Structure 1
Amino acid sequence: MIKNDAPNIELVLQLVRDCLNSKSFKLERVFSGVSTYVYRIQFGEDILYLRILPEQGLSFGVEVYVHSLLRQKEVQVPEVIHFEHFNETIGMSMMLVKEICGSNVKDCSSVDEYEGVLFEAGKQLAIINQVKVDGFGWIKRGEEEYGTTLRGEKNSLYDYIYEFLDEDLALLSKQVFSKSDISQITSFFSSGIELMLRHKASLIHGDFDDSHIFQQAGKYTGIIDFGEIQGNSPLYDLGHFKIHDGQYQRYYGYNSLARGYDEARHLSSNDRLEIDLWALWIGIRRLGAVCKRTWGSYHEHLIKAIKIEMDLLSKKL
């Protein structure tokens, strides 16, 4: 997929002037976004975020639909106030959203506050994961994909799971894991694949960790950044959070997140086993994707978390 470079700042300023019908605002680039170009706008007492989609021919249409649908279900996600499939000023799709109040959950002043926010986030994640999707993998984002149906790129979750798994394991066997480790990981997925395949496709956030959960004064305020939405098992997001838990800070939130999720949608023993399988799978996929990059703390975190999941699964399977 061809990606456009970030637009010239003067073009971005003109776009915002047109959207707001005003010149009285302050704008700055935010470099935390990976899948989109993001700009923070101070407009009077309001904070807005402009997101621009780099890929040619793709649109924010389905993401706007997801925001609208989730807000109808009382999930606290950003409100979209302006959207265009294709903005002529910048030559890309754009959406303008209101901020979620407060700051990242990592700013909580105590472990009790952190766990309380994660509990509330878990209840809302369960609602997100109940939205049905037609197919698996990345949600299609063409301009024609806008309406009442979310469509994944693949018909089979099995194909999604095994698309890169053998390649990732072969790479990691040379640099990270022993042959016995690789054999054990392969055995886990052979034994657990039926659990991972038992669901119809549901909406997942796709990149769910504590960097996307917001709070204010220790109270949950919402979830942000649906740029990685997919169709998958409804338990994928819990697995993603679990494998990344504790990566950024001293607190661990998975147990509180899962308790909140369980209150909204009961998690059976099979569900919890499947979450561990997804955590392992996501850890392998992420480590395979970054293995050739400069070695750092993320690599070390993934290796440690994968080993923990392997130990847990060896007692369950």
Structure 2
Amino acid sequence: MHTRRRFLARALAGTLAGALALPASATAAPARETFPSRTLRLICSSPPGAPLDVISRRLAESLSRQLGVAVVVENKPGAAGVLAAAEVARATDGHTFLVTTNSPFITALAVMKSLPYDPQADFALISKIGASPTVLVANPKFGPGSLAELVALLKPGKANVTYGSWGPGTMPAQVMESLARKAGVALTEVPYRGSPPALQDVLANEVDMTFLSPQVALPLIEQGRIKPLAVVGGGRAALLPGVPTFAQAGYDDFVFGNPTWAGIAAPARMPPAALARMAQAIGVSVQDADMREFLVSIGFEAIGNTPQAFEEEYRAERAALLPLLEALGMMAR
């Protein structure tokens, strides 16, 4: 996948130089289709109303203004993002893109024995739009109020403490099983199909803990319906500055500092010039003051990096998480 990145920076300049060098008879030949020439489709791997969906729709509005074509968002949630990714991987129209988290590229490997695409070969990463920390929260009746207190409760080996994951191999399972392994304790995973049902059972005191975005957690914390324990990410959440990170509690492995990100990708076969145009437009969108303010309001840090930077970060994330999934026994067999 990274091989295609090398061409993006030179794609537009190379096209222009090549055109100037051709004889008149050659330049008279029919030109390739200009990008974009019709409606763009953003296939979102989350359901309507989720943070990723809201980001997709705000991005679509900005891209439409810049590129002069309609941009539609189509939600295709399910199977750890695999359904959305598979549709984009097989798209041949040159105008279909994937808006997703890392799930179809990494987490899906822990869910499915085989994928209908190659996560590395079938996609061209364009830009990481933003990233958000995630908050470990608990029912207010749950005793521990910090990671230290949680580990102290678990150390004797008699407490049965549960956490709601978003399905096998998802971020909550990666983080909590890593915590258990590092602290030498045991936790009980209760898998759900996503965050909302896990939250409902925490609110009902059926499950002790789960993970939420800062945007979702904040009003519930203010209402006293949940309490925060720690933040997964590179720093404290802007919406919850009083909540320490896992690293500040002594857990500094990669998985504890890896935020949830929203990014955009395309089929690997898309022409480099089209990829370069989209990367430029997304960069402008994310740097817009209104867009940055919106991302902060939902708990995200605006990023808008280059394809090359996105590719490098993805390779580092993959290199760290796949061995972890293997070590935790989470890889599908």
State the TM-score, normalizing by the size of structure 1: 0.22
Larger radius of gyration, structure 1 or 2?
2
Which structure has more RCO (C-alpha within 8 Å, separation ≥ 6)? 2
TM-score by length of 2: 0.21
